Amino acid sequence: MTDKTSNKMWGGRFAAGPDAIMEAINASIGFDRRMAAQDIAGSRAHAAMLAAQGIITDTDAEAIGEGLLTVMSEIEGGSFVFSTALEDIHMNVEARLTELIGAPAGRLHTARSRNDQVATDFRLWVRDQLDACESGLTALIRALLEQAESGADWVMPGFTHLQTAQPVTWGHHMMAYVEMFGRDLGRVRDARIRMNESPLGAAALAGTSFPIDRDMTAAALGFDRPCANSLDAVSDRDFALEFLGAASICAMHLSRMAEELVIWSSAQFRFVTLSDRFSTGSSIMPQKKNPDAAELIRAKVGRIFGANTALMMVMKGLALTYSKDMQEDKEQVFDAADNLMLALAAMEGMVRDMTANRESLAAAAGSGFSTATDLADWLVRVAGLPFREAHHVTGALVALAESRGCDLPDLSLAEMQGVHADITMDVFGVLGVENSVNSRMSYGGTAPAQVRAQIARWKETLE
């Protein structure tokens, strides 16, 4: 389409077309074409409302509605020709609609501005992404529940500072991520509720003198209600920022789990075996099986965090209402949404396919004096020592075991009594890792019975 066509769309105010530089910096069609479906849905709802209110005729509304469906069909079929001279998806659609149906297309923009149009389109698009995130998170949580259930009583080391701390169960570790991603799911649902208000009808910034029905268009587009303030409706992008905030926290959780999978799948740990579907080989070392999917998930966090920061910087200095700066609100959100959904799908696939190596987990669970806290607790509970003294005695026993090159259960009773005379044979009943995890019956603890209870609770929640 020509600059002349572009000028006609703008009206009579501008006599000359923009030069190439202005066209390039002003155009957003290269990325906002992704909102074509949302733009056409909004226009169809708007046209139907205009007819219902007697602002345009039913005949014109019907022509507009049918013409918009044709435009959507062309876009989906790949035959639609996008023009940078027409700047954005809204003008591209309207220009093609004019070619298809003629004069009635010019009535579509009655009682509407590109400001409320783009705000509506963008809300609809972000809402779709929140729905997709909900589905992706739910699928990932279900995959984690399957892993947790299969290994609810498998022992493994729990870590602090990446040092062996206390024995836990594989199921308990998987359920920790269920809780994290469950909160992410809650944030996504909360964000959707808050943003589900329709800007359509706010017009440029002040509303319109036409007798429009904003409740009708809001309902047609699946919004709960219209935005209550026309200035706010066209000028804020907090719904996109909230999506990016939730996406950033979720991506951080994905990255933490990805880091564990990288470590756990290494030859030094051998806690898990990742499937070939989510691993690659080395170009030179035939023995290698690299956890590339996990590493790429770990890296994508930077893009999502960056999108959040970038949009914050765009919005932070804008006086009300709309400024052209806000055209820069979409590319970062599009990129963040793409990468979050890809990372969620990849993590779900890895979790479903991975195999936990029970023997390696159990062997590591008993190393590093992991039952030292159980010994200290026994000294308090049975021998009656104050905890600080029990802590000191246990530390001395750990040092003794280190000097002998063995673990705590390998010390003899005589050696233990040499450190504290009140220790009896009963202490060996708490030093095994199985005994340790079974004893952690406090709510939210690692005991298999507690893990299974949490699995059941989550299954019921998801259903």
* Residues noted as catalytic: 161, 282
Three-state DSSP at 55 gives coil
- Cβ–Cβ contacts within 10 Å for residue 355, how many? 11
DSSP per-residue string spanning 263-295: HHTSTTT--EE--GGG-B--SS-TT--B-HHHH
Between β-strands 197-198 and 163-169, what pairing exists: parallel, antiparallel or unpaired?
A: unpaired
Q: ∠386-391-395 over CA atoms, to 5°?
A: 150
CA-based nearest residue to 329, from 343, 316, 344: 316
Q: ∠113-118-122 over CA atoms, to 5°?
A: 155
Q: How far apart are the first and last CA of the chain?
A: 52
Return the C-alpha torsion angle 313, 316, 320, 326, nearest 10. 10
How many separate helices (H) and strands (E) can be counted in the chain? 20, 6
What size, in residues, is the chain? 463
Beta-ladder partners of 273: 355
Please name the residue ranges forming H helices in 151-237. 170-195, 214-220, 230-235
Element (H, E) at 330: helix 330-353
Compute the distance between CA of residue 203 and CA of residue 230 in angstroms, rounded to an integer. 8
Instruction: Please check whether residue 364 is in contact with residue 157, taking contact to mean a CB–CB distance below 8 angstroms.
Output: yes
- For the chain, the 3-state helix, strand and coil shares in percent, each to the nearest 5, are 70, 5, 25
CA-based radius of gyration for the chain: 31
Q: Is residue 167 exposed (0-12), middle (13-18) or buried (19+ Cβ within 10 Å)? A: buried
